[in-house]
Structure 1
Amino acid sequence: MGRDTGEAAVSDSIAVIRNAPTSRPFVVAQLGQSLDGRIATVTGESRWISGSPALDHLHRIRAAVDAVVIGVGTAIADDPQLTVRRAIGQDPARVIIDPNCRLTSQAKCLRPDGTRRIIIRRGTTAHCSSLETIELDSGTSDLICPNEIANKLFAAGLKKILIEGGARTISSFIDAGAVDRLHLMVAPVIIGSGQPGLELGPIQQLSSALRPKTTAHLLEGGEVLFDCDLRQDLR
């Protein structure tokens, strides 16, 4: 594992995204957590585990991709805007995985502002708004199909894709082998209990564990960005 410090080093992680090949979907996932791997307390409070440098980095990723994707649970719980405000760049398309039409038109991420707004749904589910939609062919109402989602977004012209949340959605994409790069931001805080971050399928032996090529970047305030190349498994 390599280690770098400073904003210039972190910019290299963004450059990897900007320069990614466009012949297939390029998927990056971003997750912020505590030292003990928590993303929220037992009451669900999650603001603010990550500090300003981590938020700046997230917005730089948004500015570098064509689409930002979240699950409907995150859309309802956090009501994020999913826009670029702390960096220079255009807003990516906002994509919500909402198979069963739970999200209302009042959500901030669905506000009309000239940016593409896309709902990913089941083919048998009639959505309640006139938003752009992508229909899934496979899976059940309780499961998402990460590779199908990535391929259909790619077919819609969205080649570089950020999976921003929640942890269940990110974990599903990693488990499916659909993520090229994981940006794991670890804050110098210990929560002790609460919602865990990544939860992947069980393995029987450590030899089966993912061991991605990773570079660690130390940010201001003690946060550490682990830039993990999931296409380079060092097993």
Structure 2
Amino acid sequence: MERALTQADASTPAAQALARIRQADSARPFVVAQLGQSLDGRIATVSGESRYINGDEGLDHLHRLRAVVDAVVVGAGTIDADNPQLTVRRASGQNPARVVIDPRGRLNGAGRWLADDGAPRILLSAAPRSTPAGVEAIVVPARAGRMAPAAIVAALAARGFRRILIEGGARTISAFIDAGAVDRLHLIFGCTIIGSGRAGLQLEPLARLADALRPATEVYKLGRHDILFDCGLRDAAGD
């Protein structure tokens, strides 16, 4: 699928980060994950409130990301908690395919992601199941209620999606990073200090700092309130 940058998007502060995705080698799937958080690494307060940790500039960047990928992926928990549309509204471009990971069959067939706007809507399930009209079901085997990120990427690649955005939630993004399935991570820090609440990335525990990921990173100031760290994870393994 061709997902071109518009002239307006090409002039944004993070145009280079977007172009890197657009120009990625299509010989294999390219996976980018995006997470918005506070300066102290929180994605929500203790009560679960998360709107809006990032400002307008961060939201604009998220929508531009959606516009340059073929598919946007979220977990069932994000659908339950946020009821997102997963469409391109704050930027120019076509809506990507909307993909929801639901290994436990928890979704009830409702939600704004199901709107029939011409974009493919795909439900990833661990076993065959009925879906709402117009929604494609793809079976991805699960173990202990979890699908392997590599299996998800392979299933979407077989469907023809080459540029894939893992948008949420934080647990899903963390699982993809732990599995080594993310090429680039876009961390957007909002200029807010919360001091408590839900942390963002929660990766497997490390005993040695030498094993920490050390990605080559580009930094972009999106506006007054948001800063983007564009991290290359493909070759970021520790010593």
Q: Does TM-score exceed 0.5, indicating one fold? A: yes
Aligned position for 2:227: 224
- In 1, Cα distance between equivalents of 2:188 and 2:44: 14
Aligned position for 1:97: 101
> The residue matched to 2:233 in structure 1 has which SS?
strand
Structure 1 letter corresponding to 2:68: A
> The residue matched to 2:232 in structure 1 has which SS?
strand
Question: After TM superposition, which residue ranges in structure 1, 4 or more long, deviate above 4 angstroms?
Answer: none
RMSD: 1.3
> The residue matched to 2:202 in structure 1 has which SS?
coil
TM-score normalised by L of structure 2: 0.91
| Contact kept in structure 2, 1:101 and 1:127, CA below 8 Å | no
Equivalent pairs counted in the alignment come to: 227
| Contact kept in structure 1, 2:175 and 2:203, CA below 8 Å | yes
TM-score normalised by L of structure 1: 0.93
* Uncovered stretches (5+) of structure 2, i.e. residues with no partner: 1-10
- In 2, Cα distance between equivalents of 1:148 and 1:222: 37
- Say if 2:81 is the partner of 1:77: yes
* Per-residue CA distance 1:17-41 (angstroms, 9 max, x = gap): 1001111110000000001100000
Residue identity (%): 54
| Greater RCO, CA 8 A, separation 6+ | 1
Structure 2 letter corresponding to 1:158: F
Aligned position for 1:13: 17
Match of 2:182 among 179, 189, 193: 179
Aligned position for 1:132: 136
Structure 2 letter corresponding to 1:36: D
Displacement after TM superposition at 1:234 (Å): 7.0
Match of 1:68 among 67, 72, 81: 72
| Contact kept in structure 2, 1:101 and 1:128, CA below 8 Å | no
> The residue matched to 1:233 in structure 2 has which SS?
coil
- In 2, Cα distance between equivalents of 1:128 and 1:151: 21
* Uncovered stretches (5+) of structure 1, i.e. residues with no partner: 1-6
Aligned position for 1:46: 50
* Per-residue CA distance 1:173-197 (angstroms, 9 max, x = gap): 0000000000000011111111100
Aligned position for 1:22: 26
Match of 2:169 among 149, 152, 166: 166
- In 2, Cα distance between equivalents of 1:67 and 1:56: 18
